[in-house]
Structure 1
Amino acid sequence: MGKIVGAAIVSHHPGLMQCEEFRVYMGAGADSDLIAGYGRLRKKIEAVKPDVVMIFDSHWFTTGYHLVDAGERYSGTYISDEMPWYLHGVPYDYRGHPELALAIEAVSRERGGYNRAIRHPELGRHYPTINLVKQLRLETMDLPVVAVSSCQNCDWEQFLPSGEAIGEAIRRSDLRVLLLASGALSHKFNGIDWKPRNPRIYHESNVSRPENIESDKQAIALMKEGRHDLILERWDEDYRRKPWEAFGAHYLQMLGALGGTACRFKGETLSDYENARGTGNIHVWFETQPHLDTQDARGLSEYTPIVTA
């Protein structure tokens, strides 16, 4: 019987792929704590020993279906069409897991759902997947990666059954699967002529609006308590209106796989809450195996960040 061995909300923002010198400059003399947070998260991944990493990609927008990438291998050089002046020349080479993707489609069809596997050698990559593959060294660990899309013509409630089908397919397998929800919380960008409130660009006061900061911190507090049900209760009146990145598709699909409103897995923050162009970013780990050692990951060894071309 397969199992979900861990889960996390993980920031992928492209500024983290710039060179350390520039990041430290933007941080007024200190790097983003999200960089050190990748190292803390990698230690968690090494401890739970997954067979497959599933990434809920908040930039892979699809229409009509929740798509699951069923390719066998992905290799190439990534360039972002959003920010090509610095996010370019990123080589990638990692395995997929077509059997898991096809199993998810089979379960979804049984349930009358909308998850479908797609297998096309020319299907493009998106940086919420590529940035995590690079920053978490998933290639070095030789871990298969399966990306899941954010279906843009869904109501938010429809992401939960997508995640439920994924969770059931994992249970029917013999795989140990790690879930990564790749995206921000509140996702309102600052204007192009925005002037920072704090010289440290990453500082939370530079998030676009005070009410977004308050809302994000409330959600983080509820995650720490394992009260995902209360986050869902407030979704329409709060988090849907901010809104979260991809309207929360990455979190909601992950949560569906973890049990939806019944999920009580508590969150452990692995980074500071930080700004990125006005959006609220953080890494939060959810321990799904209580028997494991849950020592504070901040005491773990140093992490050497990725530097791209």
Structure 2
Amino acid sequence: MGQIVGAALVSHHPGLMQCEEFRRLQGAGEDSDLIAGYARLRERIELARADVVIVFDTHWFTTGYHLVDAGARYSGMYVSEEMPWYLHGVPYDYRGHPALAFQIEAVSREQGGYNRAISHPGLGRHYPTINLVKQLRFELSDTPVLSVSACQNCDWPHFLKSGEVIGEAIRRSGLRVLLLASGALSHKFNNIDWKPNHPRIFHESNVSRPENVTSDKGAIALMQQGRHAAILERWNDEYRQLPWEAFGAHYLQMLGALGGAACTAQGEVLSDYENARGTGNVHIWFAGAGA
């Protein structure tokens, strides 16, 4: 029987792909703690010994289906459409896992869900996947990576159901699987002419709104306590209204695979809570989440 050997909420913001010198300029002489957090996360991932990684990609917006990328291998040179002036020229070459992708589709069809596998050589990459492939060194370990989209015409229960299907497919697969929810918490950008409140750009006081900081920290505390049901209870009134990146698709699909409201996996915070152009970012690891 397959199992989920770990899960994490992980920041992917493009500023982390800039050179250390520039990051330190933005950090008033200090690097982003999310960089050190990647090293902490790599230690836990190595111990988890995953056969395959599933990335819930908050920039792969789809309509009508939660798509699961069933390609066998991905290689190329990544250029961001959003920020090509510095996120460009990133080479990538890593494996996919078609068998698991099609297993997810099969379970979805059986259960009346909306997960569908897709394999197309011309399908573009997105940096919530690419940045994690690079920062977590999945190319070096030759670990297969399977990306899952955020279907934009969904409500939050649909994302939970998508994750539930993925969890069942993992159980039937015989694989050891790591889940990575790639994205921020609150995701309200600062305006283009915004002036920093703190010289260290990463500092939480530069997140777009004080109420977002308060809410994000409340959600982080609940994750640390394993109180995911409490987060779901507040979803419509709080987290959907902020909103979280991709309306929380990454967290909700991960949580669905871990048991939804019944999940009590406690989060270990592996980085400072930091700003990125107004959004709230953090790395949180859920050890033994699928046990």
TM-score with structure 1 length normalisation?
0.93
Q: For 1:177 and 1:145, how far apart are their aligned partners in 2? A: 10
Q: For 1:153 and 1:290, how far apart are their aligned partners in 2? A: 28
Matched, 1:98 2:64: no
- Structure 1 runs not aligned, ≥5 long: 292-309
Structure 1 counterpart SS, 2:139? coil
Q: For 2:183 and 2:237, how far apart are their aligned partners in 1? A: 21
Matched, 1:262 2:247: no
Partner of 1:248: 248
Structure 2 counterpart SS, 1:139? helix
Residue 290 of structure 1, CA deviation:
9.5
Q: For 1:153 and 1:208, how far apart are their aligned partners in 2? A: 26
Instruction: Give CA deviations for 1:254-308 in whole Å, capped at 9, x if unaligned.
Output: 00000000000000000000000000000000012699xxxxxxxxxxxxxxxxx
Partner of 2:48: 48
Q: For 2:157 and 2:290, how far apart are their aligned partners in 1? A: 28
Q: Which one-letter code corresponds to 1:288 in the other structure?
A: G
Instruction: Give CA deviations for 1:8-53 in whole Å, capped at 9, x if unaligned.
Output: 0000000000000000000000000000000000000000100000
Q: For 2:161 and 2:22, how far apart are their aligned partners in 1? A: 42
| Conservation of the 8 A alpha-carbon contact between 2:52 and 2:175 | yes
Q: Which one-letter code corresponds to 1:78 in the other structure?
A: Y
Partner of 1:117: 117
Matched, 1:234 2:234: yes
Partner of 1:148: 148
Structure 2 counterpart SS, 1:91? strand
Q: For 2:78 and 2:289, how far apart are their aligned partners in 1? A: 35
Q: Which one-letter code corresponds to 2:180 in the other structure?
A: L
Q: Which one-letter code corresponds to 1:237 in the other structure?
A: D
Partner of 1:284: 284
Note closer, same or farther for the CA distance 1:177–1:235 as it changes in structure 2 (3 Å cut).
Answer: same
Q: For 1:288 and 1:249, how far apart are their aligned partners in 2? A: 22
Partner of 2:30: 30
Once the two structures are aligned, what percentage of the paired residues are identical? 77
Partner of 2:79: 79
Instruction: Give CA deviations for 1:67-121 in whole Å, capped at 9, x if unaligned.
Output: 0000000000000000000000000000000000000000000001000000001
Q: For 1:142 and 1:155, how far apart are their aligned partners in 2? A: 35
Residue 124 of structure 1, CA deviation:
0.2
Residue 157 of structure 1, CA deviation:
1.3
Q: Which one-letter code corresponds to 1:57 in the other structure?
A: D
- Structure 2 runs not aligned, ≥5 long: none
Partner of 2:207: 207
Q: Which one-letter code corresponds to 1:287 in the other structure?
A: A
Partner of 1:297: none
Residue 215 of structure 1, CA deviation:
0.2
| Conservation of the 8 A alpha-carbon contact between 2:258 and 2:290 | no
| Conservation of the 8 A alpha-carbon contact between 2:5 and 2:290 | no
